[in-house]
């Protein structure tokens, strides 16, 4: 690849939960780096339309429920028909509830586990068969420091995000024979999105113990994502890339 060639040129990149803070930043960075981008959203229709207009011609987006297997399969077929074979999947759909363990009921638990893990399974399953046929692809799973460290976070959210790590490791091993790389991006406290629910005390604690002295930005996470999606990261596989400013 020439130094002047965009690193994601001609790649088809799908971002789930693309209208959120990290998802939209990934869409922008991937488009800048030459990819054709498709994204899903659940809520925030106005944000989704605004983002699509910003990304320009060739962007494809659709409202998709992250636990609806039929809708996900139809969306993937639409992307491959209108844009081409999917090269990169960024699993970014997530849900958290700020709730102490004693107040979590069964429905809360089921919803959080389902949105964070069932969506991961369904989107990946819909995309991976094409990657296997082509013997090429990249899957990036958005985890969280909550699934790796002793932190003051909702138990059901931490449990779901810990599951992302196991999913990543097992899938990376299974798909390595097909030349498909699978990695996890593990953000710490990030401005916007779920990070917006942090209390002033939690934010102060994070700033105190973080070597950078601040939360991260969605754009910083996006830069890591587009690097891992590119051929520049061709020897990086089955890893959890922590981006937390140094805790």
Measured in whole angstroms, how far is the alpha carbon of residue 155 from the centre of its chain?
20
- Coil, helix or strand for 41? strand
Strand order of the sheet with strand 240-243? 60-63, 36-41, 12-15, 88-91, 137-142, 180-187, 240-243
Q: What residues are annotated to the active site?
A: 157
* 7 part of a folded domain: no
Q: What is the per-residue pLDDT for 194?
A: 76
Q: How confident is the model at residue 3 (pLDDT cuts 50, 70, 90)?
A: low
Structural Rg of the chain based on CA atoms: 17
Mean pLDDT across 209-225: 97
According to DSSP, the residues that pair with 40 across neighbouring strands are: 62
Q: Token pair for residue 195?
A: 């990070």
Q: How many CB atoms lie within 10 A of CB 47?
A: 16
* 67 part of a folded domain: yes
Q: How confident is the model at residue 2 (pLDDT cuts 50, 70, 90)?
A: low
Mean pLDDT across 223-231: 98
Number of domains composing the chain: 1
Question: Using CA atoms, how far apart are residues 28 and 221, in angstroms rounded to an integer?
Answer: 12
10-53 pLDDT, tens digit each: 999 999 999 999 999 999 999 999 999 999 999 989 999 999 99
- Coil, helix or strand for 15? strand
Question: Using CA atoms, how far apart are residues 207 and 210, in angstroms rounded to an integer?
Answer: 5
Report CA dihedral (74, 225, 193, 157) to the nearest 10 degrees. 80
Mean pLDDT across 163-180: 98
* 5 part of a folded domain: no
According to DSSP, the residues that pair with 58 across neighbouring strands are: none
pTM: predicted TM-score of the whole model, two decimal places: 0.96
* 68 part of a folded domain: yes
- Coil, helix or strand for 140? strand
The residues near 24 (Cβ < 8 Å, ≥ 6 apart) are 18, 47, 51, 218
Give the angle 171-175-180 at the CA atoms, nearest 5°.
Answer: 110
- Coil, helix or strand for 156? helix
* 180 part of a folded domain: yes
Q: Is the dihedral of CA 192, 195, 199, 201 positive or negative?
A: negative
* 79 part of a folded domain: yes
Identify the domain containing residue 106 by its residue range: 12-243
Q: How many CB atoms lie within 10 A of CB 168?
A: 25
With CA atoms as reference, report the closest residue to 140 among 115, 171, 177: 171
User: Which region, left, alpha or beta, applies to residue 218 given φ > 0 means left and ψ of -120 to 50 means alpha?
Assistant: alpha
Question: Using CA atoms, how far apart are residues 233 and 26, in angstroms rounded to an integer?
Answer: 16
Give me the CATH number covering residue 155: 3.40.50.720
């Amino acid at each position: 690849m020439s130094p002047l060639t965009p690193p994601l040129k001609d790649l088809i990149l799908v971002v789930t939960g693309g209208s959120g803070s990290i998802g939209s930043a990934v869409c922008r960075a991937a488009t800048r780096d030459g990819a054709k981008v498709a994204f899903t959203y659940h809520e925030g229709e106005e944000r989704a339309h605004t983002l699509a207009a910003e990304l320009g011609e060739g962007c494809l987006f659709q409202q998709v429920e992250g636990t609806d297997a039929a809708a996900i399969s139809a969306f993937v077929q639409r992307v491959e028909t209108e844009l081409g074979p999917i090269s990169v999947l960024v699993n970014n759909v997530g849900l958290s509830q700020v709730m102490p363990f004693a107040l979590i009921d069964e429905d809360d638990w089921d919803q959080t586990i389902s949105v964070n893990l069932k969506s991961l399974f369904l989107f990946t399953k819909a995309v991976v068969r094409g990657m296997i046929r082509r013997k090429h692809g990249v899957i990036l799973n958005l985890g969280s420091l909550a699934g790796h460290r002793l932190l003051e976070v909702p138990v059901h959210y931490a449990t779901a995000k810990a599951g992302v790590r196991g999913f990543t490791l097992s899938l990376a091993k299974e798909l390595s024979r097909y030349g498909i790389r699978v990695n996890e991006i593990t953000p710490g406290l990030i401005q916007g999105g779920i990070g917006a629910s942090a209390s002033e005390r939690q934010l102060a604690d994070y700033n105190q113990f973080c070597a950078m002295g601040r939360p991260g930005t969605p754009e910083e996470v996006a830069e890591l994502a587009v690097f891992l999606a590119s051929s520049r990261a061709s020897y990086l596989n089955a890893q959890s890339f922590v981006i937390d400013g140094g805790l």
